[in-house]
Amino acid sequence: MSPAAPLVVGLLVLTSALAVGAAAGTGRRSLVVRRLAAGTPVAAPVPGGLPVWLPPPPAWLGRWLMAAGVVADASSVWQGWLLAGTGTTVLAALAGGPALAAVAAVASVAGPLAALFACAGRADRLLEGALPELLEAMARSLRSGASLRQAVEEAAAAPGLVGHDLRLVTAEVAAGVSLVTALDRWGRRRPLPGVRLAVSALGLGAETGGAHARALDGVAATLRARSAVAGEVRALSAQARLSAVVIVLAPLGFSALAAATDERTAAFFG
C-alpha cells in the first residue's frame, strides 16, 4: 500500500459520513417543504426522501423487514445498505486489491440477505410472545369497569407489532366498522394460531357478553404455555442451526482471509 493510502482511506470515510448526513437532511427538508406547501401533515415522501442518484428500494425489502420484526423505514435501510456496501467495497479495493474488493462486495450483498432470511418469522414470534401480556392487560381493564372497546383502545398503546395491529383495529372501529368485524380482519391479516385464538375470545365476548376477563386470562395462560414449549424447541435446535451457518460461512471467510494475506491467492482470484 502506498504512503498516501491512509489519507485516501480517511478522506473516503469522511466523504461517506458527509453523504449519509446530506441524504438524511435531504429527506427531512423535502418532508418539511411538502408539509408547508399542503398546510396539513402528510406521509413521509416516497421513496423515503432518497437522493435522486440512489435507486428506490425493492418491494420485497419492506416485506422482509416486516417478517424479521425490524421496525424501520425500508428506504432508510436501503440507503444505508447501498452506502455501506459501496464504502466497504472501495476500502477493500484500496487495502487488498480487486480480489478482496470482490469478496467484500459479495459479503455486503449476501450478509444482510442472510441475516434477513435467518430472521424470517421473527415478527410472528414476537407478536405471539406479546399476546399473553396484552390479553391480561385487557382483562384487568375489563375488571376495572371498562368496556371491551375501551380495553382494546388501551391495549393499542402497547409497543411493537401487536400494538401496531391493534391500532389498525381501533382505527377501523373509529371509522364505523364494528369491533367484531375489525377483529376478524386482524385475524385474516395475521393468520397465526395465537392471533386466531385471541380474536375468537374477544369476538365471542363482544357478541355474547359474559365473563370476558376470565376468558382472556385463560387464553393468555394457554398462549404462554405454547410460547414456552416453542422456545424450548428452538433452544434445543439452536446448536444444529449454528453448525449449519458455520459450515456455510467458514469457506467464505477462509477465502477472504487468504485473498487478503497471500498475493498468490489474490492473483488466482483476480
Reported as a single tens digit per residue, the pLDDT across 132-184 is: 998 999 989 888 888 888 888 999 988 888 888 899 999 999 999 999 999 99
Let me know if 70 is exposed, middle or buried by CB neighbors in 10 A (0-12, 13-18, 19+).
middle
Band of pLDDT at residue 265, cut at 50, 70 and 90: low
Length of the chain as a residue count: 270
243: in domain: no
Cα–Cα distance, 43 to 31 (Å, whole number): 8
Per-residue pLDDT tens over the stretch 85-139: 888 888 888 887 777 778 788 888 877 887 777 777 777 788 888 889 989 999 8
Residues 15, 116, single domain; the answer is yes
Residues 135, 200, single domain; the answer is yes
* Residue ranges making up the domain that contains 37: 5-120
Band of pLDDT at residue 266, cut at 50, 70 and 90: low
* One-letter amino acid for residue 52 of the chain: V
193: in domain: yes
229: in domain: yes
Residues 75, 36, single domain; the answer is yes
129: in domain: yes
Give SS3 for 130.
helix
Residues 133, 107, single domain; the answer is no
Residues 145, 202, single domain; the answer is yes
Band of pLDDT at residue 32, cut at 50, 70 and 90: very low
What pLDDT is attached to residue 17?
Answer: 45
244: in domain: no
**Residue 188: closest CA among 212, 209, 172:** 172
Last residue of a domain, one of 120, 142, 165: 120
Residues 110, 10, single domain; the answer is yes
63: in domain: yes
Residues 130, 98, single domain; the answer is no
254: in domain: no
Number of folded domains in the chain?
Answer: 2
